[in-house]
Amino acid sequence: MSIVQKIKTDPRLKALALYLLMPKNQAKPRWWVRQFMNPFYHKKEHDAVFQPKARLDVLPFNQFTVGKSSVIEDYAVINNGMGPVHIGANTFVGLFDVVIGPVTIGNHVIIAQNVVISGLNHGYEKVGMPIKDQPCTVGEIVVEDECWIGANAVITAGVRIGKHSVVAAGSVVTKDVPPYSVVGGNPAKILKRYNFDTAQWEKQQTLQKPVLI
């Protein structure tokens, strides 16, 4: 058993490790972790840009990678505490975005402002315990290449956004999105899909509810 596995399986060692890595009840790593550990554990291509006010709540026990020519804008938050975060090449993470792993974002992706992409869910079933103290569950989010995520959208745990798809501003995505689709609404539904036979983006027919008289 490796040292990391031993720490993860021993509650006392795990508690000690977390205390050394970050202050209690905080997600932001301690200064020494950011300065001396993360640069050696995480892969950032040399021309990727982290704007000075971007907040990287990343820890060495989960992966964090960023591809070439990608940009993480000011006030964006990246958190890999519950799972790895992988961001591809030529991808833009906008102002005030929140990305909580496990999340994989592909190449040439545009993520507009105030978007939440969270692979984390809080437990709530035990009514005698505060929600913040209950165990969390995770489900990896995958945003495939060439997608555009509109401002104020929310993508929930376990969702896959297919290649070259668009999520309209303000949408809440709770189910997988097929490739080459446009979705919108709360919960998000398919509005258009690209038809390779006709080379057109085609609106999707919505079922009409029967009128009761």
Please give the distance of CA 18 from its chain centroid, rounded to a whole number. Answer: 22
Cα atoms in the 13 Å half-sphere on the side-chain side of 178:
10
User: Does 46 qualify as catalytic in the annotation?
Assistant: no
Of 42, 46, 108, 122, catalytic: 122
Structure tokens at 125: 């079933």
- As given in the structure block, the two tokens for residue 143 are 């945003």
Q: Is 169 exposed, middle or buried (0-12, 13-18, 19+ CB in 10 A)?
A: middle
- Burial state string for 129-160 with b = 16 or more CB within 10 A and e = fewer than 16: eeeeeeeeebebbbbbbbbbbbbbbbbbbbbb
Q: Pairing between strand 189-195 and 200-203?
A: antiparallel
Active site residues: 122
